[in-house]
Homo-oligomer: A and B are copies of this chain.
Amino acid sequence: MDFRGQDILSTDQFDKATLRNLFEEATRMEDVLKKGHSDLLKGKVLATLFFEPSTRTRFSFETAMLRLGGRVISNADMLKTSSSKKQETLFDTGKVVSQMADAIAMRHPEAGSVAKFAEGSDVPVLNAGDGAGSHPTQGLLDLYTIWKEKGTLDGLTIGIIGDLKYGRVPHSQCGFLKHFDVNFVFVSPEALKMPRKIVDDLMSQGRSIIEVDSLADHIGEMDVISMTRIQEERFESKSEYKKYAGSYVLDKNLMNKAKEDSIIIHPLPRVDEISTEVDEDPRAKYFEQVKNGVALRMALLSLVLS
């Protein structure tokens, strides 16, 4: 894929070669971060348009743009502070904002809305999450973190733990990981297993998959421990929730069973699924992941705008 001028809307746009190019660009961006900044995008303006607030994602896009010498205009809470109240279509809003910016990072609570907006826009639109839809830059930074820490993705055993049925993060990760020769360990309560469609899709590409409900029994096999939150509201009863939630608290005891060179990733915010005592563990990469996200978004902006 040639990134120039492209919208970044969904995981489907990325194949193995594209991901490798992106990660290599992100590595170059780490050098820019070390130096402090670059003038690569001097004179370019990014609009961040968040129809649903998300400080960390917005900050990440904005910092990425600023570190590359660009500038930012921002609406952090568009539904509350805009003429979207005046019933303007997303197409029109996209057309209008694109007259004032060189690229737009947009977030919206409804799946599909970013694509509608992008149809109107005359400049590249980067999906910063659209509800139950896609959040491609989060998935990309998860993969980049693995690639950066392990040097490769092929041959790894990757455990994905939590609510695999509804979780946007696990689905997005699988959408990217399917391009690599990865062994999956899906850890979830029976009621929250990975959707059949995703499992079949991975199987058809020859991936090895095991589906289990105990993290303790399988953590020792994992090169990557991808933790996600289990949300209480998915369960029929509080006791049912507690039965499973308890087993997926990653603590020192569990980490004693994990490989020496494994890594832990998590999209954050965490509630209690990773004990704070694990923060000191050198295998914990979930805060570094945030920094990796800046480099990854710098890479996307640089490829799309230059």
Contacts and interface: CB of A to CB of B under 8 A. Distances in A.
Given A56-B96, A73-B62, A78-B55, A43 B47 contact: no
Copies of this protein in the complex? 3
Nearest to A47: B59
Interface residues of A, number: 53
Contacts of A60: 100
A77 interface: yes
A80 interface: yes
Interface stretch (A83-91, A188-196, A239-247, A257-265): A83-91
Interface string A63-100: 10011000111111110111100111001110111011
B271 A96 contact: no
Interface stretch (A131-139, A202-210, A288-296): A288-296
A54 interface: yes
A256 to B, nearest CB: 23
Interface of A: 35-37, 42-45, 47, 53-56, 58-60, 62-63, 66-67, 71-78, 80-83, 86-88, 91-93, 95-97, 99-101, 268-271, 276, 287-288, 290-291, 294
